[in-house]
Amino acid sequence: MLILALVTLVLHGALAGLFYAFSMSVMPGLNAVEPAQAEAAMRSVNRKILNPWLFVVFIGSPLAALATGLLADAPAAWWFLAAAAVNAVGSFLATVAINVPMNNALDAGTMAWKDYSPRWTTWNTVRTVACLASLVLVGVGLTQL
């Protein structure tokens, strides 16, 4: 149980860090160059980020929290289940419903950088906050094991 809980913690930390890095460095860096360069760079990033390591962290975080919650005894179980729910809504759902469609629009050339960047960054920050909240919930759950 402890190993699964620690894996859950690491996955949530990695995902929170990924989203944080985008909002705090990648997007400001891209905003500092010409829009055409920023669009080209982001299209490349969006293609390269789709790899097995992303999917392990992105899908693994809520699933690991769910599994840990289902296997743990109360009160720890509730903290892990809450982490799974917050991650599923704040990270997974936001990504699928908002960020990925915007990435697709940028890739298709139907959304300009000036429209894409502020909205994408706002929603990415929402994902960051959700993942940080999930990370805290997992941490609290660990103290209850």
Q: In this structure, what token pair is assigned to residue 64?
A: 């690991």
Instruction: Render pLDDT for 24-42 as a digit per residue (tens, 0 to 9).
Output: 999 999 999 999 999 999 9
Give the structural domain span for 63.
Answer: 2-143
Q: Do residues 145 and 1 lie in contact, with contact meaning Cβ atoms separated by under 8 Å?
A: yes
Mean pLDDT of 72-99: 97
Q: What is the pLDDT of residue 86?
A: 98
- pTM for this model (two decimals): 0.94
pLDDT in tens, 91-117: 999 999 999 999 999 999 999 999 999
C-alpha to C-alpha distance for 25 and 20, rounded to whole angstroms? 8
Question: What are the tokens at 15?
Answer: 């995902």
Number of domains in the chain: 1
Question: Cα(99)–Cα(119) distance, rounded to whole angstroms?
Answer: 9
Mean local confidence (pLDDT), 60-64: 98
